[in-house]
Amino acid sequence: MDNCVVGNSISLTELVNKFGTPLIVYDLGRVEENYKAIKEATGARVLYSIKANPNLAILTFLRKLGSGVDAASPGEIFLALKAGFEPGNILYTGAFRSLDDIKYGIDAGVLFNFDSRREFERALSLGYRPRTVFFRVDLGYGRGFVPGVTLAGEESKFGMFLNDAIDAYSLAKSIGVEEFGIHAMMGSNVLDAEYFIRIAELLREHAEFIEDRVGVRIKYFDMGGGFGIPYRPGEKPLDLSKLSVLRNFFPGELWIEPGRFIVGDAGYLVTRVTEVKRKGSRTFVGVDVGMNVLIRPMLYGAYHHIITCGGGEEQEVVDVVGPICENTDKLAINRELPRVREGDLLIILNAGAYVYSMSSNYNGRPRPAEVIVYKGEYGIARFREPLDSLIAGQVIPNFI
Q: Per the structure, how many domains does the chain have?
A: 2
- In angstroms, the Cα distances linking 279 to 13, 276, 282, 328, 373 are 30, 10, 5, 17, 39
CATH of residue 115: 3.20.20.10
Nearest to 71 by CA among 98, 41, 105: 105
Looking at the structure, tell me whether residues 248 and 370 fall in a common domain: no
pLDDT at 155: 81
CB 180 within 8 A of CB 213: no
Decide if 394 is inside a domain: no
Which of 233, 263, 293 is a domain's end point? Answer: 263
Q: How much is the pLDDT for 140? A: 87
pTM of the model: 0.95
- Boundaries of domain holding 211: 28-263
Tell me how many degrees the CA angle 79-292-283 measures, rounded to the nearest 5. 145
Residues 290 and 368 in one domain: yes
- With a pLDDT cut of 70, the percent of the chain lying above it is 97
- Spatial separation of the C-alpha atoms in residues 169 and 181, rounded to whole Å: 10
Looking at the chain, the whole-number percentage of residues with pLDDT higher than 90 is 92
Residue 156 has pLDDT above 70, yes or no: yes
Of the candidates 285, 178, 280, 192, the one whose C-alpha atom is nearest the C-alpha of residue 242 is 192
178 within domain boundaries: yes
316 with 224, same domain: the answer is no
396 within some domain: no
392, pLDDT greater than 60: yes
- With cut-offs at 50, 70 and 90, classify the pLDDT of residue 295: very high
Whether pLDDT at 149 is above 90: no
Residues assigned a catalytic role: 325
In the prediction, which pLDDT does 312 show? Answer: 66
Cα distance between residue 197 and residue 41, in whole Å: 13
- Name the H helices within the chain: 12-19, 28-42, 56-65, 74-82, 99-108, 117-124, 162-174, 193-214, 260-263, 296-300
Mean pLDDT of 89-104: 97
Q: Which amino acid is at 123?
A: A
pLDDT at 310: 72
Is residue 35 in a domain?
Answer: yes
**Are 45 and 65 in a shared domain?**
yes
C-alpha span between 346 and 320 (Å, rounded): 10
User: Is 294 found in the same domain as 234?
Assistant: no
- Looking at the domain assignment, is residue 168 inside a domain? yes
112 and 170 assigned to the same domain:
yes
